[in-house]
Amino acid sequence: MKIGVTGGIGSGKSLLVSELERLGAVVYHADKKAKELVYLPEVKESIIKLFGEKAFENDTYNTKYIASIVFEDAIKLQALNSIIHPAVFKDLDRFCHQNEGKTIVYESALMMETGHTHLFDKVILVTAPLSLRIERVMSRDGVDRNAVLKRIEKQWSDEKKRDLADIIIENIDKEETLNKVRLLWENKFKRNP
């Protein structure tokens, strides 16, 4: 079974995914993996073609430089995604083959925005009140409220995502959320040998 887990920044996807992993799922962290895949020769070459040599300073992916461009230019963001997403999905396919017969969890903040929910048997949307999300991100990343709101504006609203989700988990109280995840695991996702 393949489960997609998504949610806006600060919703608490990581909490839910960590618990599923603890319970026995194998997890593919798409956002982390994408940061590794930019170093594949064909991906790196395409990124340099799009953004110039400054995209990799001292052979290191220049996240700040790229972010400063794509946050202001939707066309460049789309072009970057068209380079990185195919590499991620090719790698996910390899990961799924290596873990055949296991419950696989795919974590991605932009799964719905990129139109990839169809790849999963179930899609879980993690939500939380906006004020709590802002508070969490400010605390976690050491940024101010406006910086968090700018990031949130780049993602779809929970209302827009709800129709594409099979399961919605509101993550306000940590223990309550963990209990919901354990119940889901026992009743829907656990693979019996």
- pTM for the structure as a whole: 0.86
Task: Provide the sign of the torsion angle of the four alpha carbons 125, 128, 134, 135, taken in this order.
Answer: negative
pLDDT score, position 154: 79
Total domains in the fold of the chain: 2
pLDDT score, position 193: 44
Do 48 and 130 sit in the same domain of this protein?
no
Domain extent, residue 165, equals 1-25+102-193
pLDDT score, position 191: 62
Do 140 and 150 sit in the same domain of this protein?
yes
Give the long-range contacts of residues 35-44, CB within 8 A, separation 24 or more. Answer: 35/61, 35/63, 37/84, 37/87, 37/88, 37/91, 38/84, 40/87, 43/83, 43/84, 43/87
Do 62 and 132 sit in the same domain of this protein?
no
The domain boundary, picked from 100, 118, 134, lies at 100
pLDDT score, position 113: 85
DSSP H or E stretch at residue 123: strand 122-127
For residue 94, the domain's CATH number is 3.40.50.300
**Cβ count within 10 A of residue 94:** 10
Q: Return the structure tokens found at 47.
A: 């990124």
Residues of the chain with pLDDT under 70: 191-193
Q: Return the structure tokens found at 148.
A: 């968090």
Give the DSSP letter of residue 10.
T
Do 19 and 107 sit in the same domain of this protein?
yes
Do 121 and 37 sit in the same domain of this protein?
no
Question: 72-92: per-residue pLDDT in tens?
Answer: 888 998 899 999 999 999 999
pLDDT score, position 176: 96
CA-nearest of 14, 1, 2 to 108 is: 14
- In sequence order, what are the residues at sequence separation of 6 or more whose Cβ sits closer than 8 angstroms to the Cβ of residue 140? 10
pLDDT score, position 111: 87
Q: Return the structure tokens found at 34.
A: 């994408």
